[in-house]
Structure 1
Amino acid sequence: MLTIKNYASKLGAVAILLGITFAACKDDDAPTLSLRSKEFKLIKSIADSTQIGTVKLSENADSSINLSLSLTKTVKDTVNKVYLIKGIATAALTDTLYKGELKGTGDATAVEIWKNAKTIKYDSALLITAFAKVRFSATKDSVIAVGNIFKAAK
């Protein structure tokens, strides 16, 4: 009698383990979404390839995208002018895709160019031939950062 009870408890334990094993190995789990992102280098000038910032394109779970520009060092309280322009840095076209400002902090700083933009998708953005340019200020015409982005960066 003791042997039958012992055998029954072992059989129950095996059944539970098998049930857990099969439940854990089911194939119907939702696939993990892999979000894409790409960074483009900003340099001091066409003649000086010292990297001083980046432009980052990232994809969100709802297929919207973000685009941000960051500089590693800025002059405190200076309002830098930020532009995205069609073409390449050495042969600009007249189409301005974005015009905005980045306020200097005396340290690294960034600006969101597109936040959760749904009018353009990640793959479509990468097909645009464009470059980013940052001017010191509205009154001083000196470029402090420039870099080809998207398709122009290839």
Structure 2
Amino acid sequence: MFKFHQHALKAGVVAATVLGIAFTACNKDDGPPAPPAPRSTTFKLRGTGTDAARETGFITVLENSDSSINVTLSLGKNKKDTTHQVYFIGGSYTAPTTDTLQALDAKGNGAALTVELFKNVKKISLRQAGGATKEIPFKYNDAIAYAGHLKVKHSRFSTDTIAIGNFGKSN
């Protein structure tokens, strides 16, 4: 009988320990888990001609907490008070397509310049040849998998390219 009491005592201690651990683990004072760190990827741009080996800027894709993304161009080389043309086009710069993601003006300041290409987007309207448009998903994984390139021209009528580089899958 003494052995039975000793065995029952050990079983009770084990059960109390298990219940204590279970209640501690279920504590509802813990807040929600921290959101994952935002993902970010950068693609380099380089110059042309004598600047071909020099990095002149970069494109950054940043994922927001709501799964939308921001795509920004950071340009080191630009001419003050000149309206530069920024073209974000499908395909690599050696084999471009006629798909255009973005075409915009960026006024040079002579110093580091940041241009917002897309802000808080989950999909974009892709402009195609002949004026047609096609809406495509453009969340982080879509953007990184897209094969494109970015070209910054000196001005609207200039053939001078001051920065060029592949984006996404083309890189």
Q: What's the TM-score bracket when you normalise by the shorter of the two chains?
A: 0.7 to 0.9
Question: Does the alignment pair 1:45 with 2:63?
Answer: no
Q: TM-score, normalised by structure 1?
A: 0.78
SS at match of 2:109: coil
Structure 1 residue 49, shift from structure 2 partner: 2.3
Return the match for 2:120 from 110, 113, 116: 116
Residue equivalent to 1:147: 165
Q: CA deviation at 1:26?
A: 7.5
In structure 1, runs of 5+ residues without a counterpart are 1-21
Give 1:113 deviation, angstroms: 0.6
Partner of 1:135: 153
Q: Secondary structure of 1:126's partner?
A: helix
% identical aligned pairs:
42
Q: Unaligned 5+ residue runs, structure 2? A: 1-23, 124-137
> How far 1:74 sits from its partner (Å)?
1.5
2:38 alignment partner in structure 1: 35
Q: Does the Cα contact within 8 Å between 2:91 and 2:97 map onto a contact in 1?
A: yes
| Aligned pairs (5 A) from 1:77-88 | 77-88=81-92
**Paired residue secondary structure (1:125):** helix
AA in 2 matched with 1:35: P
Distance verdict in 2 for CA 1:87–1:26, change over 3 Å? same
Query: 1:130 is paired with a residue of what secondary structure?
Result: strand
